[in-house]
Amino acid sequence: MGKIVITGMGAITPVGIGVDNFYNSLIEGKSGIDKIQSFDTSELAVQIAGEVKDFNPADYLPKDVVRKTDAFMQYAYIAAEEALKQSELEIEPARTGIIMGTAMSGISTIAFTQEALTGASHKKVGPRFIPKILGNIAAANIAIAHNIQGPSFTVSTACSSGGDAIYQASMLLKAGKADVMLAVGAESAHCPIFIYSLANAKALSRNNDNPQKASRPFDEARDGFVIGEGGGALVLETEEHAKARGAKILGELIACGNTSDAYHVTAPHPEGKGAIACMRQALEEGGLKPEDIGYINAHGTSTPKGDEVETHAVMEVFKDKTPLVSSTKGSTGHMMGAGGITEVISCIKAIETGILPPTINLDNPIPDCDIDFIANEARKADIKYAMSNAFGFGGQNSSVIVGKYEG
């Protein structure tokens, strides 16, 4: 099987809409985390999140699509539009497919619809409720808009959903089921029921008074993650197909890994066994040595246990030749299914620009650790390969390696 290449990218995030805005904000060390504006949080213990700013869906989407979609679907649609436009792809319907990744699907629509229904009449439940909450309808709307008739799957593997969407898309390309695959990840889970549950599990930062400093990956003062939202998309093609149509190739998808901890439904394996196996699996598939990786965009959610376990796992895999590492969740918050795509985009941009995004809010790194987490300021580095890690509830582990394209 020949190479799989990337010809289009799209992103909508708390620090910017569009890939260039997103990446420039990361490089500048901006934070997209603030007080939640989309609903009243006065009675909640956690009142902060990474929301997409200055967003009016009608500025990006047809009116009928706005009416019939949840926010996570809108983010998926907008990211896909940007990626497809950049790729300049003329879609061959039967040979083009979509893999959608989302952890929570339409949970916000479910929550707010139930709230409206409680003590009210059935008229509060609109006829579009069901298609607005189903994860696969995000892909369906994109397919309808572009007449994409090839393979279509929706992946829901918690916070590794975006990375796993890329993996499944690559497997379909390698199997000859399509020539082009659109890998999309999107999430918008900002609603009280979601926040209550995670807050009661002590998973979220409660730094309501200083939201832009709340997400602190790999810092000793970290006290939980911050919920983010957004969408990301990649156009993946076989090299043969991309070259035949004269596409501009942005990078190469080198390899992917996927493993399960088989340990606990929410906690990572204390020794990081699944994460270690996942990174090693991706390296082996790509025919790479640990020292070939120049940069890792870490899962790095800012939770006390998760960051510690990931640090141990990276040190175990890379030994004394640990690459530069950063977590962009300090800027965006934890975008869940969307993050698995946007963080791979960060890796592609890092390779392209030679500028690696920083881990913001990192003042006192985890002790007894030799990893350079690119604290607070972007770093110039000429790298050829980068890895993106995404780990989720259920012990889900995803590692994606991308590289500089050499045709």
- Residues designated catalytic: 159, 299, 334
Scan for tokens 């175990």, then name that residue.
Answer: 316
Give dist(CA 134, CA 126) in Å, integer: 15
Helix or strand holding residue 47 (H, E): none
3-state secondary structure 192-239: HHHHHHHHHCCCECCCCCCHHHCCCCCECCCCCECEECEEEEEEEEEH
Angstrom CA distances, 333 to 176, 214, 299, 300, 393, stand at 37, 9, 11, 10, 17
Give dist(CA 208, CA 336) in Å, integer: 21
What residue type is 184 in one-letter code?
V
Structure tokens that stand for 210 in this block: 């200083």
Scan for tokens 């909640």, then name that residue.
Answer: 44
Strands 385-392 and 396-403: antiparallel
Structure tokens that stand for 110 in this block: 């479910």
Give dist(CA 129, CA 310) in Å, integer: 39
What residue type is 140 in one-letter code?
A
Residue 246 burial (10 A CB sphere; 0-12, 13-18, 19+): exposed
Closest by Cα among 368, 355, 388 to 24 = 355
b/e map 105-139, b = 16+ CB within 10 Å: bbbbbbbebeeeeeeeeeeeeeeeeebbbebbbbb
Strand partners for 99: 153, 183
